[in-house]
Amino acid sequence: MGRLRKILVANRGEIALRVMRTCRELGLGTVAVYSEADRTSPHVLAADEAVPIGPAPSRESYLSIDRILDAARATGADAIHPGYGFLSENPLFALAVAEAGLVFIGPSAAAIRAMGDKTAARALAARSGVPTVPGTPGALTGAAEAREFCARHGYPVLVKAAAGGGGKGMRIVRESRELEGAVRAAASEARSAFGDERVFLEKYFEEPRHIEIQILADAHGNAVHLGERECSIQRRHQKVIEESPSVVVDGRMRQRMGETALSIARACGYVNAGTVEFLVDRERNFYFLEMNTRLQVEHPVTELRTGLDLVALQILIAGGEKLPLRQEEVTFSGHAIECRICAEDPRSNFLPSTGKIVHLRTPAGPGIRDDRGVDEGGEISVYYDPMIAKLIAWGPTRESAALRMIRALREYEVLGVKTNIALCLFVLSHPLFRAGEISTHFLQTHWNPEEMPGGEPGEPEAAAAVCALIAAGTPAPAGWGGGGRWIERRRDYLRGA
């Protein structure tokens, strides 16, 4: 690991734990930082040293650059891992860490900045010859320009407000005769919503897939890609289920997407781990969306398929060492699926569910990994994101991984907060998911809370029996105590015989 000895993890929850686990394996010291709400959280209990950095609201703790740097200085940490979220994609943080004479385990502030501005990033991609979602270069100048764009790229197209957001001033156009009316309607809607009637056109994809490429680049000019992850199962642009490989990506497409991702990384002088996101249409054309300049939530999917430890490689690269493998040495095995288990209620429009976890049992057994940041007795609070865990299943084939995930989801028991486990089971059991026929519209098209499984025959009755026993305050005999009764019956049985 070169010169790194002690690493401060500027994060909380499962990702802080995950980073610390690798540090332990590498013999590196670990420093946790924590807010007042997290004094006894698992990431604090797992660390060698722990430093309080402020009150529960993240703005005053996990987002405080000064307090985190103070903690690093106080403990003598020589590097900072930002995890994901919080300060991980803040160029000012990367810069401040470097200026404090510490190592930032991630890309340079310049690379974060270059990719942080999404339109600038797309322009950079386009300059590097990377396909982006086709669109008019700026606001529409007239009907002729709109007709020409549609003739070149085909229908459907999307009319979008230049000042837009939240779906306002947006129209899908499927035929040429709808075009001019839709542009007028969108412009007038945009004028009343944003006081700006400028609109532009973009190619619209009916059933797009979200497929991303993991890359690693060192400071010596070496870079590899680690294949793709498909993250099409999303709810309101939040990924719920990720997998690798994608059913639509074959060896040639993987190579083309990988090389494209690496060309974007090279164009912005990228060093460390990063992810290039693409939109893929039904004809398997891919278009650059954005680059995430950090470790992704769903990175374990890639780890299970490649056998690599991405955090270990991040630390190695940040320590100035060379990538220990070349592209042809990256090998893939089997299929991995990840489910994000979140404290939210699928029956009430996915409202976050806060509270104390009063019962927790997690799955184990072959091919299962549970990256979790909260234990039984822990609290899901309003201050941080409601993810309880990431459950990852590996199998030699997609079908075996799916069956294993269903088995593991059924072993997962959480009481005290509502979870989206039923939603995950719904997707994994859906015939279209199993056939690989998914898109980012999958959940909005197919999910219906009315169709949530109501249990198999006998199960509601078993639940009722237990509730009545608890309510009666005369709990059932413990497994041991039951022995007496068993002997009595046995005697009856012998006598009867």
Partner 1 sequence: MRTFIVSAGGIEMTVRLESDGDVTVDGKHCSVRRISATEFSVIAGERQIRVVAAAEGGAYSVIAGTYEGTLSVESERDRLLRKYGRSTASSGTRSEIHAPMPAMVIRIDVAPGDTVRRGQPLIVLEAMKMENEILSPGEGCVKEVHARAGKSVEKGELLISFQ
Q: Report the interface residues with partner 1, using CB under 8 A.
A: 358-359, 361, 410, 413, 415-416, 421-422, 425, 453-456, 458-472, 474-479, 482, 485
Shortest Cβ distance from residue 359 to partner 1 (Å)?
4
Nearest to 106 by CA among 303, 308, 309, 274: 274
Please pick, among 12, 67, 235, 294, the residue that the annotation labels catalytic.
294
Does 73 qualify as catalytic in the annotation?
no
Instruction: Tell me whether residue 128 is exposed, middle or buried, using C-beta atoms within 10 angstroms of its C-beta: 0 to 12, 13 to 18, 19 or more.
Output: middle
Q: Which residues contact 83 (CB under 8 A, 6 or more apart)?
A: 9, 10, 11, 15, 16, 19, 294, 295
Query: Facing residues of 394 across strands?
Result: 336
Q: 59 or 361, CB closer to partner 1?
A: 361
Q: Based on CB atoms, which residue is closest to partner 1, 85 or 416?
A: 416
Q: Residue 474: how many CA atoms within 13 Å on its side-chain side? A: 1
Chain-centre distance for alpha carbon 242: 8
Residue whose token pair is 């870079």: 223
Provide the minimum distance between the beta carbon of 485 and partner 1 in the complex, in angstroms, as a whole number. 5
Cβ pair 281, 208 in contact under 8 A: yes
Give residue for tokens 């460390």.
Answer: 272
Residue 449, preceding peptide bond in cis (omega within 30° of 0):
no
The bridge status of strand 335-342 relative to strand 238-244 is: antiparallel
Q: How far is 54 from 70, CA to CA, in rounded Å?
A: 12
CB-based contacts of 340, cutoff 8 Å, min separation 6? 239, 240, 241, 297, 387, 390, 420
Given a contact cutoff of 8 angstroms between Cβ atoms, the answer to whether 14 and 387 are in contact is yes
- 199: closest CA among 214, 215, 182? 182
Tell me how far, at minimum, the Cβ of 491 lies from partner 1, in Å.
16
Residue with Cβ nearer partner 1 (101 or 457): 457
- Output the smallest distance, CB 348 to partner 1, in A: 12
Residue 325 beta carbon to partner 1: minimum distance, rounded to whole angstroms: 43
Residue closer to partner 1 (CB basis): 107 or 386 = 386
Least Å distance between CB 434 and partner 1? 18
Closest CB to partner 1 among residues 475, 496? 475
Nearer to partner 1, 180 or 461 (CB): 461
Tokens matching residue 202? 């973009």
Taking the complex as a whole, how short is the minimal distance between the CB of residue 262 and partner 1, in angstroms? 45
| CA–CA separation, 469 and 194 (whole Å) | 60
CB 347 within 8 A of CB 452: yes
Which residue's CB is nearer to partner 1, number 102 or number 343?
A: 343
Could you give the residue numbers annotated as active site?
A: 294
